[in-house]
């Protein structure tokens, strides 16, 4: 009996140490950034480096709005994210509705073509897409960026949406259609309310994708006033490699909104994926 | 009669109408550009004068005969295999850890998804600063707190030290997602399997070895493929931390593609690199999937 107790204590200790090590591993770069963001520039360059700021200040979090064009970057990011999220969610929901709930001979083919696009990464597409946007005079245009983002995020969004629509009971839908609901009516009146959690997942997932997308935003947009957050901060890193008190503050502010959104959808995305892969 | 006929027509074309928006994006902005890239790769294409001249296989022959490209291809393989391998091993261990009950688990799990929620570019900037040689807290901690180094190291100043750090960051950003997918599949293993096994007197390790691992094997193998494609194509981490430098010491295929295209404005050659990347990944995926389905049977 005693040995069982001892064994349990050992397990608890091992788990405890592992969890603390994990937290340090994950948080290290954020703790470094927080440490710097709470210091004045003078303190960072005082010649001494140390972990706990001696005179912690929130100044940097106020100054980034004037020192970096942070408000504009943020606005651009929000525009791109809302645009991408709207376009991708609507197109994906319509496609998934059709693929999961309607009879069409090429449904399987279409779904496979959608999945096959996962083989093409943005980097393989960047040159022709860049040329296309230049030709139609839509480089340096947030709507152009929204279109590219939508194209890249759409296949996976359709895949997620397909799972949600597939789980909708077919007989309810048929009853609704017999009662005279049109296709769109059925979509908005019958299906949407029931799969709302799934739709929230799609909206947030596509929003977060656009927030985190870097390659297109970095390549397509060259005008400073149209840049999104990540690209704007990166420009600042390259031009003012000394102002890390502002850079780290801006980085931390840029991480927070998406982190909060991820907390909401994390389980839905992971389960949708684990199940999708399992099939 | 007429109305009925109209309704029938609508019934027939409705599925197509609903597919139209997505088809615009998938064919217009994915499949068409892919074909376009393949075509450009056979041309000398000057972006400034917008002149295109057909050169056949010249761009491909150049790449195959240029030692730098061979080195970069080999480095890309090392980068991909170490990041994916490291991620898989760490994720397996962490999935086991997060399967255990412990206090404050919800909080730990929330913190755990931070690297996933943080974009690659932002993560790379965070590390670029943490690794800073004079002001970076990594050097400070290693030197003043842990006493493992005597003087500050310029981690990103040479390829020899920068490349391992890039791999470290690559693993760091990939872990949460991979772990959570593995964890989700671990938790879907039927509990009674474990109970039956416990009755037979199997130890924890035996249960893990003979029940958990075989059950989650398909998921592990698929996440390896998904990660392999994603990491092979990953641009922001390396670009933000080193831009492929110093000189070309940390370049991988996608960063050299980017340089060829947008620094040297050599769209033809860059497109050839893009096509080679795609063909390579396609062959790898097909072989991998065939191997998987053989093993399943």
> What does the pLDDT look like over B186-215, one tens digit per residue?
888 887 877 777 777 777 788 888 888 888
Which residues of chain A are within 8 Å of residue B222 when distances are taken between CB atoms? Answer: 277
Instruction: Give me the residues of A, 61-120, that contact B with CB < 8 A.
Output: 87, 90-92, 94-95, 97-99, 102-104, 107, 110, 113-114, 117-120
At B87 the pLDDT is 97
Q: What's the average model confidence in pLDDT over A71-81? A: 94
**CA B261, B266, B271 angle in degrees (round to 5)?**
65
The rounded distance, in Å, linking the Cα atoms of A87 and A71 is 24
Tell me the shortest Cα–Cα distance from A51 to chain B, in angstroms: 7
Q: What are phi and psi of B51, to 5 degrees?
A: -95, 135
Partner-chain contact A94 B19, CB within 8 Å: yes
Facing residue for B129 by CB, picked from A50, A131, A244: A244
With CA atoms as reference, report the closest residue to A147 among A200, A210, A66: A210
Tell me the shortest Cα–Cα distance from A175 to chain B, in angstroms: 16
With CA atoms as reference, report the closest residue to A269 among A191, A208, A216: A208
Partner-chain contact B126 A263, CB within 8 Å: no
Instruction: Give me the residues of A, 163-182, that contact B with CB < 8 A.
Output: none
Partner-chain contact A94 B37, CB within 8 Å: no
With CA atoms as reference, report the closest residue to B15 among A98, A174, A93: A98
With a pLDDT cut of 90, the percent of chain B lying above it is: 54
Partner-chain contact B117 A26, CB within 8 Å: no
**CA A266, B211, B221 angle in degrees (round to 5)?**
55
The rounded distance, in Å, linking the Cα atoms of A91 and A88 is 5
Query: Residue B146: is its pLDDT beyond 80?
Result: yes
Q: What are phi and psi of B46, to 5 degrees?
A: -95, 120
Q: What's the average model confidence in pLDDT over B222-239? A: 92
What are the pLDDT digits (tens) for B244-294?
888 899 999 999 999 999 999 899 999 999 999 999 999 998 989 888 888
At A279 the pLDDT is 46
With CA atoms as reference, report the closest residue to A89 among A181, A164, A167, A194: A164
What are the pLDDT digits (tens) for A95-135?
998 898 888 888 889 999 998 888 888 888 999 999 999 98
With CA atoms as reference, report the closest residue to B275 among B251, B255, B257: B257
What are the pLDDT digits (tens) for B95-136?
999 988 888 888 999 999 999 889 999 999 999 999 987 888
Which residues of chain B are within 8 Å of residue A183 when distances are taken between CB atoms? Answer: 14, 18
Partner-chain contact B135 A23, CB within 8 Å: no
Q: Is residue A234 packed enough to be buried (19+ CB in 10 Å), middle (13-18) or exposed (0-12)? A: buried
Tell me the shortest Cα–Cα distance from A65 to chain B, in angstroms: 18
Partner-chain contact B223 A113, CB within 8 Å: no
Q: Are B23 and A104 in contact (CB under 8 A)?
A: no
Q: Are B151 and A242 in contact (CB under 8 A)?
A: no
Read out DSSP for A205-263? HHHHHHHH--HHHHHH--SGGG--HHHHHHHHHHH-TT-HHHHHHHHHHHHHHHHHHHH
Partner-chain contact A123 B37, CB within 8 Å: no
Other C-beta atoms closer than 10 Å to the C-beta of B53 total 9
Query: Residue B144: is its pLDDT beyond 60?
Result: yes
Facing residue for B122 by CB, picked from A87, A95, A254: A254
Partner-chain contact B135 A255, CB within 8 Å: no
Q: Across the A/B interface, how many CB contacts are shorter than 8 Å?
A: 259
Name residue, tokens 């009996």. Answer: A1
CA atoms within 13 A on the CB side of B163: 18
The rounded distance, in Å, linking the Cα atoms of A189 and A193 is 7
Instruction: Give me the residues of A, 13-72, that contact B with CB < 8 A.
Output: 15-16, 18-19, 22-23, 25-33, 35-36, 44-45, 49-51
Select the residue from A121, A245, A250 to test the B interface by mutation, using most B Cβ atoms within 10 A: A121
Partner-chain contact A114 B22, CB within 8 Å: yes
Facing residue for B22 by CB, picked from A120, A154, A254: A154
Q: Is residue B117 packed enough to be buried (19+ CB in 10 Å), middle (13-18) or exposed (0-12)? A: buried
> pLDDT band at B3, cuts 50/70/90?
low
First-to-last alpha carbon distance for chain B, in angstroms, is: 54
């Amino acid at each position: 009996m005693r040995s069982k107790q001892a064994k349990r204590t050992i397990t608890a200790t091992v788990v405890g140490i592992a969890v603390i090590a994990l937290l340090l591993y994950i948080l290290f770069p954020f703790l470094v950034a927080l440490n710097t963001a709470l210091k004045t520039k003078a303190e960072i360059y005082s010649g001494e480096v140390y972990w706990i700021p001696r005179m912690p200040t929130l100044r940097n979090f106020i100054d980034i709005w004037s020192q970096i064009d942070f408000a504009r970057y943020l606005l651009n990011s929000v525009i791109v994210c809302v645009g991408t999220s709207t376009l991708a969610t609507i197109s994906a929901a319509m496609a998934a509705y059709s693929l999961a709930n309607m009879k069409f001979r090429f449904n399987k083919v279409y779904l496979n073509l959608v999945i096959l696009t996962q083989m093409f990464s943005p980097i393989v597409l960047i040159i022709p897409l860049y040329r296309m946007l230049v030709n139609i005079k839509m480089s340096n245009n947030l709507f152009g960026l929204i279109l590219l983002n939508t194209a890249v995020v759409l296949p996976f969004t359709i895949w997620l949406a397909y799972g949600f629509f597939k789980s909708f009971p077919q007989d309810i839908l048929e009853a609704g259609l017999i009662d005279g609901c049109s296709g769109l009516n059925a979509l908005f009146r019958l299906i949407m309310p029931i799969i709302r959690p799934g739709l929230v997942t799609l909206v947030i997932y596509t929003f977060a994708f656009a927030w985190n997308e870097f390659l297109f935003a970095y390549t397509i947009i060259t005008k400073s006033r149209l840049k999104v957050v990540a690209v704007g901060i990166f420009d600042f890193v390259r031009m003012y490699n000394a102002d890390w008190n502002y850079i780290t503050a801006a980085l931390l502010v840029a991480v927070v909104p998406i982190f909060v959104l991820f907390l909401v959808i994390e389980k839905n995305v992971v389960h949708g994926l684990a199940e999708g892969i399992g099939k | 009669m007429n109305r009925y006929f109209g309704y029938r027509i609508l019934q027939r074309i409705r599925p197509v109408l609903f597919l139209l928006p997505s088809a615009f994006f998938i064919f217009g902005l994915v499949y068409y550009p892919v074909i376009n890239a393949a075509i450009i790769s056979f041309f000398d294409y000057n972006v400034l004068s917008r002149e295109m001249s057909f050169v056949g296989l010249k761009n491909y022959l150049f790449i195959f005969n240029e030692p730098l490209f061979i080195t970069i291809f080999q480095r890309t393989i090392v980068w991909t295999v170490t990041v994916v391998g490291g991620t898989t091993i760490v994720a397996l261990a962490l999935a086991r850890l997060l399967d255990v009950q412990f206090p404050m688990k919800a909080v730990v799990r929330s913190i755990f998804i931070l690297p996933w929620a943080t974009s690659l570019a932002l993560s790379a900037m965070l590390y670029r600063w943490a690794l800073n040689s004079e002001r970076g807290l990594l050097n400070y901690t290693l030197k003043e707190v842990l006493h493992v180094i005597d003087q500050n190291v310029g981690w990103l100043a040479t390829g020899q030290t920068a490349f391992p750090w890039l791999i470290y960051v690559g693993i760091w950003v990939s872990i949460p997602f991979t772990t959570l997918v593995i964890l989700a599949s671990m938790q879907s293993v039927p509990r009674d399997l474990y109970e039956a096994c416990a009755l037979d007197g199997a130890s924890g390790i035996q249960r893990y070895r003979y029940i958990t691992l075989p059950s989650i094997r398909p998921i592990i193998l698929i996440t390896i493929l998904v990660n392999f494609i994603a990491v092979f194509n990953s641009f922001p981490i390396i670009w933000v931390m080193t831009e492929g430098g110093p000189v070309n010491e940390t370049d991988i295929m996608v960063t050299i593609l980017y340089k060829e295209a947008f620094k040297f404005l050599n769209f033809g050659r860059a497109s050839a690199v893009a096509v080679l990347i795609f063909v390579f990944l396609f062959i790898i995926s097909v072989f991998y999937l065939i191997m998987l389905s053989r093993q399943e049977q």
